[in-house]
Amino acid sequence: MSSWARLGARVELLTVLGCDLGSNAPTTGWDARGGFRTEGEAARKRRVEDARACAVLGVVPVWLAFGSGDYDRHGDEESVRAAVVTRLAGADTVLFPGHPLSHPDHAWLVDSLEPVTLSARVGRYAEQPYTQRAGSAPSSFERVESGLRDRVAKWRGIRQYRSQLELLGMRRSLTGGPRVFAFADEAISWQ
């Protein structure tokens, strides 16, 4: 993302399951382990972190208010699909999560968007930190070269997600911290 933005492309990071900022629904699962009390509190904190990370990378954050699997979805699958298609209208290139899809929300989203046909070039990216933990991306994914400048930007961006780092086991880890994931291979499978 950093290299595309630096080369003059308008790059947007779309968070589809951005949750409802005003929701008082109590947290469960991931957000409860992160110390958040409500869906809205978690959503507000994550948006601040997203905005900071995107500023580091030079990209634009965009959020939809659909709920993650731990909350009400705030719309059915068709509503999610319609909102995403509307948001992606006019995009030249679109990347969806692609491997290993071990996060249930990411898998649900990709399955929900499967029937969508876009005029844009579409690819699937190998998700970090999940791909690194799985060992590597499948051979159908092409390695994307990233220079030091962009990897450092990614490292700085990752570090903005302070509420998530410890939950991901990345806070103080020498073998799995932000630096390791920032310097892990990037890979995309073009469709």
CB 57 within 8 Å of CB 12 = no
All structural domains of the chain, each given as residue ranges with its CATH number in brackets, are 2-190 (3.40.50.10320)
pLDDT tens digits for 109-158?
999 999 899 999 999 999 988 898 888 899 999 999 999 999 999 999 99
- Residue 140 confidence (pLDDT): 95
Task: Give the β-pairing of 12-15 and 60-63.
Answer: parallel
- Residue 151 confidence (pLDDT): 93
pLDDT at residue 70 greater than cutoff 80? yes
- The model carries a pTM of 0.92
Average pLDDT over residues 16-30: 96
Average pLDDT over residues 159-184: 79
CA separation for the pair 128, 80 (Å, rounded): 24
CA separation for the pair 181, 10 (Å, rounded): 24
Tell me the one-letter amino acid at 189: S
Average pLDDT over residues 35-51: 98
pLDDT grade for 175, boundaries at 50, 70 and 90: low
